[in-house]
């Protein structure tokens, strides 16, 4: 794993989801095969290592945030848009923890989205926020498949248990079901996940799988390597038409109405 410590001049980025976004790292050790962040990261970072095998650590992030926060209009922060704030290296560097500390002291709203139960380490800080939401992404209930497509993230069980623990601590929680990767998930599994999310957490978001043309070759390579003989069938079922997604959307709307937040 290539680890590079860097100093940044700016840490609050613009976001379409919230007022700001903060990415404590560049790169992500979780190494999900479908990750879109690598598509965006390549636009500003020329890195030869494969996605998942490098992390740039923004070691001065909290210090810069302390300065920036004084000059910016108070708003909500999304952690994180291009990386997972609780990927394994966070255990050592605690950059996310330091950032949260600054945001809590300044009473800013935070939305955390992760695939790691490491977020529980920071419960003490999370409880200081007046407004905070923590969400976990789950793409499949099949743990064997999870190990292949999201190899270095927490297990599904760990994510669900962490989310339940956060909920018990009166922290607002959400389940992010997505991207929906057919044929890795089927309707029955999606339904099960959504019903579970609605019963146990505050919000459920659902998003489709979005094709990124520059990643197609890598995705094809991954499918061939990981699914051998089945590669053709899987590849064909992965890339869906707009009409297919329109139907998925209609079916989900019919079944769950306004109870879920559909992002497509």
> Binding pattern to ligand SF4, positions 127-166, x when CB under 6 A?
----------------------------------------
Binding segment (CB under 6 A) for ligand SF4, from list 31-39, 56-64, 71-79, 249-257: 31-39
* Contact call for residue 28 and ligand SF4 (CB under 6 A): yes
Per the DSSP assignment, residues forming a β-bridge with 4 are 56
* Contact call for residue 30 and ligand SF4 (CB under 6 A): yes
Quick one: 84 or 122, whose CB is closer to ligand SF4?
84
* Contact call for residue 32 and ligand SF4 (CB under 6 A): yes
Binding segment (CB under 6 A) for ligand SF4, from list 1-9, 23-31, 90-98, 117-125: 23-31
* Contact call for residue 115 and ligand SF4 (CB under 6 A): yes
CA distance 105 to 125: 10
Total residues in contact with ligand SF4, by rule CB under 6 A: 9
CA distance 184 to 149: 10
* Contact call for residue 35 and ligand SF4 (CB under 6 A): yes
By CB under 6 A, name the binding residues for ligand SF4: 28, 30-32, 35, 37, 83-84, 115
């Amino acid at each position: 794993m290539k680890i590079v410590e860097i100093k940044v001049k700016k840490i609050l980025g613009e976001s379409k989801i919230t007022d700001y976004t903060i990415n404590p790292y560049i790169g992500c050790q979780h190494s999900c095969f479908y990750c879109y962040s690598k598509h965006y990261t390549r636009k500003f970072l020329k890195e030869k290592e494969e996605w998942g095998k490098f992390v740039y650590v923004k070691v001065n992030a909290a210090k810069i945030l302390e300065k920036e926060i004084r000059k910016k209009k108070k708003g909500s922060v999304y952690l994180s848009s291009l990386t997972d704030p609780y990927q394994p290296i966070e255990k050592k560097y605690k950059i996310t923890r330091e950032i949260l500390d600054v945001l809590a002291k300044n009473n800013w709203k935070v939305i955390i989205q992760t695939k790691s139960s490491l977020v529980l380490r920071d419960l003490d800080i999370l409880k200081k926020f007046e407004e905070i939401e923590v969400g976990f992404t789950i793409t499949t209930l099949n743990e064997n498949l999870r190990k292949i497509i999201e190899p270095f993230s927490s297990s599904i069980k760990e994510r669900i248990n962490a989310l339940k623990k956060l909920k018990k601590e009166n922290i607002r929680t959400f389940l992010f079901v997505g991207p929906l990767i057919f044929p890795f998930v089927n309707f029955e599994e999606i339904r099960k996940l959504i019903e579970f999310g609605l019963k146990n957490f505050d919000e459920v978001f659902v998003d489709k799988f979005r094709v990124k043309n520059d990643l197609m070759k890598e995705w094809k390579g991954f499918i061939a390597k990981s699914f051998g003989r089945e590669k053709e069938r899987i590849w064909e079922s992965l890339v869906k038409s707009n009409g297919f997604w329109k139907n998925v959307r209609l079916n989900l709307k019919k079944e769950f109405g306004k109870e879920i937040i559909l992002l497509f």
